[in-house]
Structure 1
Amino acid sequence: MKFALLLPRVATLSCLGLLLCASCTRRETRQEKGPSREPEFRVRTIEEASLNGLNVLPLRVPADLDLPRRNQIIAGYVNKQLPLRVRLQLNAYNPGLENVVLTGLDYAVLLDGRPLGTSRLVSTLSLPAGDSVRVPLTFEFNTYKFLGDDAMPALRNFALGFGDPRRQRLAVRVRPLLRSPRSHISQANRYSESVVMVPATPLK
């Protein structure tokens, strides 16, 4: 008889245990989702852009490219060495619930929507939870192959607009390498969407 009376209590306790376990599992799942969110990147500002050593940031319209500047670009193209060197600042935002460390990133550069080249940045930066930091990035690629063999007539226009945020000529795709406070290292499985230059906003 006593055993029969205990059965409802045991069943009730079992149900409560299952509910508590389910609640803990849901809570743990929610907590795990936060830190696993990958940082978000944007091109904050382009600090330097040169084409065969010529500063192209101030060049906006064809009238800005006088004969000496045009000849400097043509000389590089004729020699099949027309390097585009860019120094910019990425804005990295960590939307997760815990601090992470950026130990490097693979990135792909697009110019006018077309792939220009890929490279890797080796750097160590702390990304506080819910905060943003700046990530300096410098790269150089030879644009001769990008332009092709019949680009001479288009060279003037090609040198224009690198510093104009409205044109957004440059885009960067980023795949970060991260380390959590528990020393777990992870890398995004794919490149992020294109991150392009946006008007500068104050960092928190």
Structure 2
Amino acid sequence: MKTAFLLSHAAALSCLGLLLGASCTMRETRQEKGPSRAPEFRVRTVEEASLNGLNVLPLREPADLDLPRRNQIIAGYVNKQLPLRVRLQLNAYNPGLETVVLTGLDYSVLLDGRPLGTSRLLSELSLSAGDSVQVPLAFEFNTYKFLGEDAMPALRNFALGFGDPRRQRLSVRVRPLLRSPRSHVSQANRYSEPMVMVPAALPR
């Protein structure tokens, strides 16, 4: 009878080991699949950038900023309204294993490494696993507050280099607002890494 008990005990331990092994395998499988990763964003093209209505994308050298253009920028600064308007196309790529729905973006704009402003874009797009979509983004911020007072001598240089990929003056941090197709609740993911705004960074 003692032998039978030992055999029964050994069988129980063996079964327990099999159950634990199965549980680990299931857990590892779940970890491998895991939740979908947040979409990755890159700037595809910068389509427009203007300072107080002046197109600054082609301005790279001081000689590009003639007197009429300079006066247009000075007039905005004197009136304490020097709006920078930017329109661009983002490329959103879903590296996850399931479709996600992008319900919007919270984003922060930096100019020369300093915060310029924040805003939110509300736009619902379905993003299949391994697929990418273009997301138009446009924003406007008053750069007078960014420059502060007594910035008149620096105005000419301030208008240069917005379209120069070597300068990389503008950057954007993006926090996507997502929901799974099976859920009606949106969630905000953490900010992605800063992305450098370089015109034509990706092929069209």
TM-score range normalised by the length of the shorter chain: over 0.9
The aligned residue for residue 11 of structure 1 is 13
How far the C-alpha of 1:72 sits from its partner, in A, is: 0.6
How far the C-alpha of 1:3 sits from its partner, in A, is: 4.3
The aligned residue for residue 73 of structure 1 is 73
In structure 2, distance between residues paired with 1:66 and 1:202: 33
The aligned residue for residue 163 of structure 1 is 163
In structure 2, distance between residues paired with 1:116 and 1:5: 74
The aligned residue for residue 186 of structure 2 is 185
- The number of aligned residues is 200
Question: Normalising by structure 1, what TM-score?
Answer: 0.92
The aligned residue for residue 141 of structure 1 is 141
Q: Aligned letter for 2:128?
A: P
- 1:90 aligns to 2:90 (yes or no): yes
How far the C-alpha of 1:10 sits from its partner, in A, is: 2.2
In structure 2, distance between residues paired with 1:19 and 1:93: 36
Residues 119-172 of structure 1 show CA distances to partners (whole Å, capped at 9, x for unaligned) of 000001122212222111000000001011111111111111111112111000
Q: Aligned letter for 1:10?
A: A
Residues 3-61 of structure 1 show CA distances to partners (whole Å, capped at 9, x for unaligned) of 4433322221121111001110111122124x1x2111122211000101111111111
Residues 49-100 of structure 1 show CA distances to partners (whole Å, capped at 9, x for unaligned) of 0101111111111111111111111110000000000001112121111110
**Unmatched runs of 5 consecutive residues or more in structure 1:** none
In structure 2, distance between residues paired with 1:12 and 1:202: 58
The aligned residue for residue 27 of structure 2 is 25
Identity %: 75
In structure 2, distance between residues paired with 1:53 and 1:201: 27
- 1:40 aligns to 2:40 (yes or no): yes
Residues 96-128 of structure 1 show CA distances to partners (whole Å, capped at 9, x for unaligned) of 111101101111100011110010000011222
In structure 1, distance between residues paired with 2:108 and 2:27: 38
